[in-house]
Amino acid sequence: DGGITQSPKYLFRKEGQNVTLSCEQNLNHDAMYWYRQDPGQGLRLIYYSQIVNDFQKGDIAEGYSVSREKKESFPLTVTSAQKNPTAFYLCASSISRDRGQRSYEQYFGPGTRLTVT
């Protein structure tokens, strides 16, 4: 089955530790995204990548880092510099070049809930 996987579903870390969240997709999508969601809030964009070896900062990139070494993978590292890292993290992907489709909707993974104490 095609889709996006994120692991783990729940993650616990001590303050001051870096932590890396996994995101893998087998949809053959070029673009991938990381969002953060806080309780009762909408999604906010952290980073996005349009193509392998390229990525751009979103609205709240401070304290986060990413890499895009493979088309299928877009891991997010939450560094110790992120002041409020506890949140629900969502990864998404989409096509990014016109392949004769009408829409470019994003497909989301199940999310990782990170708790830092």
Partner 1 sequence: DAKTTQPPSMDCAEGRAANLPCNHSTISGNEYVYWYRQIHSQGPQYIIHGLKNNETNEMASLIITEDRKSSTLILPHATLRDTAVYYCIVRVAPRYGQNFVFGPGTRLSVLP
45/79 with CB nearer partner 1: 45
Write down the least CB distance from residue 8 to partner 1, Å: 14
Burial (0-12, 13-18, 19+ Cβ within 10 Å), 32: buried
Residue 41 Cβ vs partner 1, minimum distance, rounded to whole Å: 7
- Residues of the shown chain interacting with partner 1 in the complex, contacts defined by CB under 8 A: 4, 30-31, 33, 35, 40-43, 45, 48-51, 56, 58, 88, 90-92, 94, 96-97, 103-111, 113
